[in-house]
Structure formats: C-alpha cells, structure tokens
Structure 1
C-alpha cells in the first residue's frame, strides 16, 4: 500500500508540476518567429510525449526514493528534475536560447548519470529513463539548432 501511494504521489506530482510549468510557459509569438530546423516536430506532439515521460520519471523517482533514498541516484533524480523544470521558463519565459541550451545539456548529463547510477541497484528505473534520455538528446539537438539558426 505504501509503495503504491508513494508511486502515485510521485507520478501525479511530476506530471502536475510539468504540466503547470508548460501551461505557464506556452510557445508564443516570439517562438513562432524563430527560425527552426526542418526536423522541428509540430507543437502538439510535445504535450503527449512529456506526459508519458513525466509518468516514467515519476515511477523511477518513487522507486529510487523508496529503495535508495540517500543514494547518488536520488540526488541525480532531483537534479535532473530541477533542470527539467527550469528549461521552459528559460526558453519560453525569458526567451534565452543559450541559457536553455546550457540547461538542456546539463539535464541530459544528469539523466545519463542517473541511468548509470541506477543500472545495478534498480534496473527498471534506469530503463524507464532511456526514452527520456533519447527525447532530451533530441531536444538538445533541437535547442542547439534553434540557437545556431537565430
């Protein structure tokens, strides 16, 4: 019962905070006016992708919190979450493409380090972060391309 409740709280918290940050930092006229690479996905794809990824992140966070609360993996989970939640306000809110690029690269590093730290202690949590790592690697390329084009 406790594991289920903690997992639900983590998933709900991560999805809710991520959604709130997304709603408060929606792409606007500034973003629409930026030059973007040909591989830029349509705006509608980001919401569903992030919702699924946030659920995975929440499950991994709950598992790490329950079983390895004082580990390097838990510290990395928190670090990547702080960076994740900082990206949208930096990019869309402050309109700082370079600052957002620095954040997304740091986030990718934290995600990869979380995967490495979790691999032997909780393989499922590490595996749940693989799609997240792939998406953030793509987001890094996209952010870097927008930086280059503008």
Structure 2
C-alpha cells in the first residue's frame, strides 16, 4: 500500500523520534563521559595548551551539541522513504562509536596519541555523516556544523596536548615506583 503521510503525521513522527533520540544521545554522551575524567593526577600533570578552554565549557558545549546531534538524527530517522535514509543512519552509528570512545581512550587509557587517532576517525566519519544527512534532510546536516567545528577544535587541542606532552604525561601510572638494584 502506497500513500503519502500528511504533514501532521510527519510532524508527529519527528516529535516522537525527537523525544526518544535527543535524550538517548544525551544519555549516551553522558555515559561515554563517565569512561574517564579530567579529575586525575595524570591530567593535572599534563602541560595545557594555550587554547585549552575553561573546564566548565566542555560540559556546556557537549550538552548543547548532543541535543543538536539527537535532533539531527531524529530528522533523518523520521524521513520515512527518503533515499539514503538507511545508509545515513548506519554511517551515523559508525561515527558515533568514535565520538563515545574518545573519553575512554584519552582519560581512561591516558593515551594521547590513541585519542588523536580516534578524533581523526571521528572527524572523517562526521564529514561522511554530514554528506549522508544532506542527501536525506539538509536541515539535519546543517545542525551538525557546530559539532563539526567543535570536533575540529578538539582535534587541534588533542594534537597540542600531544605536542606539549610527547611522553604522554609520563608512564600513565600515578603510583610511586621504587626500583631496587641488586
């Protein structure tokens, strides 16, 4: 059976998807953020780049970005029958794994180089997501542009952390080690 949905039905679908996906993306972002913390002796001991913003900025920016990401995804998911919708959703899922992995790699594993690689993956796949979203709903792609700017900034910031801390901030261990020579 082929039929076109009314504008009211399309709005209702977008509303339902938004009410589900926006909180889900915010929750996943929050849970990803729990995989590590800047409140460690390792991070406190790192040399900070001049462009490092105040720590409170990260929570504010990511909260806003996760709402935009969730709404952009809802726009795409609710576009029933749109060409490329399924591909856009799969590309987004592959991308978002990188987004969520960064905190675990940088803060959890204390691996600045690995985190830079994760951000490179996140940046490249985000460009692919924007292109895929553009084919489905241009407004969804446009909502991701602030996110692209922030990921590009985060990549630069991560690179500067690596440049200032080429040894990765030490051994990664915060416990004192006593070496005994026999």
Same fold (TM over 0.5): yes
Q: Which has the larger radius of gyration?
A: 2
Counterpart in the other structure of 2:41: 29
Q: Is 2:57 the partner of 1:45?
A: yes
Measure, in 1, the Cα distance between the counterparts of 2:34 and 2:132.
32
Structure 1 residues 23-72: Cα deviation after superposition (integer angstroms, max 9, x where no partner): 34221221111112111111110001000000011011122222257533
Measure, in 1, the Cα distance between the counterparts of 2:14 and 2:49.
43
Structure 1 gap ranges (5+): none
Q: Is 2:164 the partner of 1:149?
A: yes
Structure 1 residues 58-115: Cα deviation after superposition (integer angstroms, max 9, x where no partner): 0111222222575332122111211111100110001011111001111011111111
TM-score by length of 1: 0.93
TM-score by length of 2: 0.77
Structure 2 gap ranges (5+): 1-11, 166-182
Measure, in 1, the Cα distance between the counterparts of 2:156 and 2:35.
24
Determine helix, strand or coil for the equivalent of 1:13: helix
Q: Is 2:113 the partner of 1:98?
A: yes
Relative to its length, the structure with more helix (as a share) is: 1
Q: Is 2:143 the partner of 1:131?
A: no
Measure, in 1, the Cα distance between the counterparts of 2:27 and 2:136.
28
How many residues of Structure 1 are paired with residues of Structure 2 in the alignment? 150
Counterpart in the other structure of 1:9: 20
Find the partner of 1:77 among 92, 100, 111: 92
Measure, in 2, the Cα distance between the counterparts of 1:48 and 1:82.
21
Measure, in 2, the Cα distance between the counterparts of 1:127 and 1:2.
20
Measure, in 1, the Cα distance between the counterparts of 2:135 and 2:51.
35
Measure, in 2, the Cα distance between the counterparts of 1:70 and 1:134.
24
Counterpart in the other structure of 2:3: none
